[in-house]
Amino acid sequence: MKNSFVLFVQGFRDPLQAPACEHAFCRACITEWISRQPTCPVDRQAVTASQLRPVPRILRNLLSRLCTSCDNALHGCNTVLKLDSLASHLVECMFMFLYNIQLSFKHFYIKIKLIRN
**What's the distance, CA 111 to chain centroid?**
31
- For 47, what's the count of Cα atoms within 13 Å in the CB-facing half-sphere? 26
pLDDT confidence band for 116 (50 / 70 / 90): low
Is residue 47 within 8 Å of 40, Cβ to Cβ? yes
Residue ranges of domains in the chain, CATH in brackets: 15-92 (3.30.40.10)
Residue 5 has what pLDDT? 38
Residue 79 has pLDDT above 80, yes or no: yes
Name the average pLDDT for the chain: 79
With 0.95 as the threshold, say if the pTM is over it.
no
Q: How far apart are CA 86 and CA 68, in angstroms?
A: 8
Terminal C-alpha separation, the chain: 53
Tens of pLDDT, residues 22-66: 999 888 889 989 999 999 999 999 999 999 999 999 988 888 888
Residue 63 burial (CB < 10 Å; 0-12/13-18/19+)? buried
Residue 40 has what pLDDT? 93
